[in-house]
Amino acid sequence: MVSKGKMKLTWILWFILWPAILWLSYNYYYVSMEDQIIDILLFALFMCIVAWFPLTINDNPVFFVNGISIAVFLTFGLFVEIILTQIAIVTVLAKTRVGKKDNYRYPLNMIMFSLVSVIGAGVFVQLGGNHQTIFTQSEEQVWAIFGYAITIFIANQFFNKLIDKAFYKRKVKIFDEGLRWEVISSLLIIPVGFVLFVLYSEIGRAGIFYLGIPFVFISVILMLLYSYKEINRYLEKTGEIGHQLTNRMELSSVYNVFINEISDLLPIDYAYIYIVEDNKLKLEQFYDLENNTEASFSSLKRNEAFSGKVWATGKSLLYKRASDWATVKSRKIPSDTESVLSQAVEYGEDIIGVVTIESKQKKAFEKLHFQIMDILTNYLGVALENAKNYELTKSQSERDGLTQLYNFRYMENLLEDYCDNLIENNSNENFSLLLLDIDHFKKVNDIYGHEAGNEILCQIAESLKSFIGERGVIARYGGEEFIVFLPYSGLSESTQIAENIRSLIADSPFTVHKHIINNTGPLNVSITTSIGISVFPIHCETPSELIRHADRAMYIGAKRKGRNRVAAYEDLKSS
C-alpha cells in the first residue's frame, strides 16, 4: 500500500515538473501546429480509442498508443506528442476505474511518460534526427527514428520497473508477462506507426483514417487475444489446484493448499475458509496478505457478515466496491475492504462451508474470478469430504473403540519411527515407557459387571490424558493395561511421573453407574495399579525390547511384590 507521504510527493513533483517539461518542449523544441489543429484532434481521438482497450498485467495497464505517438512526434514535435500521450493516459486510467483513493496514479504516470518522451526526443536529436528534413527519409533519419522507437520502449520498461520496485515495493522480474506483451505489441504497432507517419505525410488527413481505423482493430484483437490467454491460464491453474486438493488427505493440508494457491491466483488481501459445525460457521483458515492482522473471531452466525449471508441464503456474493455492501454491518469485516467475493462450499445437496475473499481495491473481482472460484469451491468441497473420511478411517484404525486412546498398533509404529529418527540423527536423547496394569481387575468385573469395568477403564483413560497432557502419548495396550510414552524423559523423571499416576488412581475412587449390584445407585470403586518402567537406550536397543522390559518390570517388580507400586527394569537388573 502506498503511503500518504508518497502520494503527496507525487503531486508536488507533478506540479513542478510537468509544467516545466511542457514549457521547455514548446519553447526549445520543434513544434508544428499551424493549420493542423483538426488533424491533431483526430490523432488524439484515435489515441484515446486505442487507449480504451488496455491489457491489465500485474496491476499495470498496457496500451498500444506507441505507434500513433511516433507518427505524432515525427509530424508535430515533442510538445504535441506529450500532450496527446497525456490525454491517452488519462483515458486508460479512467477506463481502468482508478478511483479517488488511487488518484496519485494520474500525476505519477504523467510524469513518467513525459520523461520517457523527453528522453526519446533527446536520442532522436543525438542520432541526427531532424523534423524539418525527415521527409527525405535518408538513412540517417531512418536510424534516428529507429533509435527513438527503441529508446521509448526501453525507457518505458525502465521507469515501470523502477516505480514497481521503489514506489510500490514489489518484487520485480525483468522478463515478465508485461514485457512479453510489450515486445509483441511493439513489433506489430511501431512499424504501423511509421507507415502512418509516411502515409499522413503523403496524402494528409485521409492517411489518419486509412491506418487509424486498422490501428484500433489491432488493439482490440490484441486485447481479445490476451483475454483468451488469461482465461486459459486461469483454467489450467484451476485444474492444477483441483488436482493438488484431491491428493491431500489431511484437512489442514487441504486448507493450506487452497489458501496458498488462490492467494497467488487472485488479487486477494484477505481470505477466509469456514466450515459448518454445531449450527455455526467455524473459521478454519484466515489469510492476510500483509500479515498485519489476525482473525479476532472464531465463528459466525447465520446472516452475519458476508459468509453468514451466503450460508443462510445459499447465494453467492460479488461486491465491487464498499458502497455496494454498505448495508452489511459487522465488526468482523476489515475496515479497508472494498471488493468481496463469497461462495458456498457444497457437497451433494448440502452447504458444508463458505469461502470469502476480500480486496482493498475496487473492482478487484470480475465475472471470470467468480466463475473460477465456483469451480475451486466445488473442488474444495470434494477434497474436504475425502479428507474427513480419510481422517475418520485413520482415527478408527489408530484408536481404541472404548477409551478413544491410541491403540497398541499405533504405539508400536510411533516407537519404531521415534527410535529410527534418534538413530538417524545420532541423538543421545533418553525416553521412557510406562506400562500400567489395573490390579485385580477380573475381580472388579466379577463383582460389579463388565459394563462397570468399562466405565472404570474410560475414567482411568481420562485421568491419564488429563495428567500427562502434552508431555507424552497414551495408548491402551489391551484389556486392563495402558502404555504411556514419555519423550525427553530419563529414569528419574519417569519414575516420579509413574509414582504420581499410581497415587492419583489409588487416592481417587471411581464412580460406576452401570453395575450389577441390586437396588443401589452409583457406587464408588477403589482401584490400584502396578506400573513398570523401561528407558531407551539404557535398558534396551529396540522398541520391542523397550515394551518387553517395561512389561517384565511391571509383573516381576510391581505385581509380585504386592501390587499398587512402581518398578523400573533397572531394579530387576540390580536384584
- Please identify every residue annotated as catalytic: 480
**Cell 536397543 sits on residue:** 541
Sign of the CA dihedral running 187, 189, 192, 196: negative
Q: Are 534 and 497 in contact (CB under 8 A)?
A: no
Return d(Cα 339, Cα 554) in angstroms, integer: 65
Q: Are 524 and 429 in contact (CB under 8 A)?
A: no
Q: Are 474 and 408 in contact (CB under 8 A)?
A: no
Concatenated DSSP letters of 269-310: SEEEEEEEETTEEEEEEEEETT-----S-SEE-TTSHHHHHH
Q: How far, CA to CA in Å, does 178 sit from each of 173, 229, 355?
A: 10, 13, 31
Q: Are 430 and 523 in contact (CB under 8 A)?
A: no
Pairing of strands 431-438, 529-536: antiparallel
DSSP 8-class letter at 363: T
- Give residues with Cβ within 8 angstroms of 213, minimum separation 6: none
E strands present in 161-225: none
Q: What are phi and psi of 527, to 5 degrees?
A: -130, 145
Q: How far, CA to CA in Å, does 55 sit from each of 190, 229, 238, 281?
A: 17, 12, 22, 39
Return d(Cα 133, Cα 37) in angstroms, integer: 22
Q: What are phi and psi of 65, to 5 degrees?
A: -95, 0
Q: Are 129 and 148 in contact (CB under 8 A)?
A: yes
CA torsion 391→394→395→400, rounded to 10°?
Answer: 170
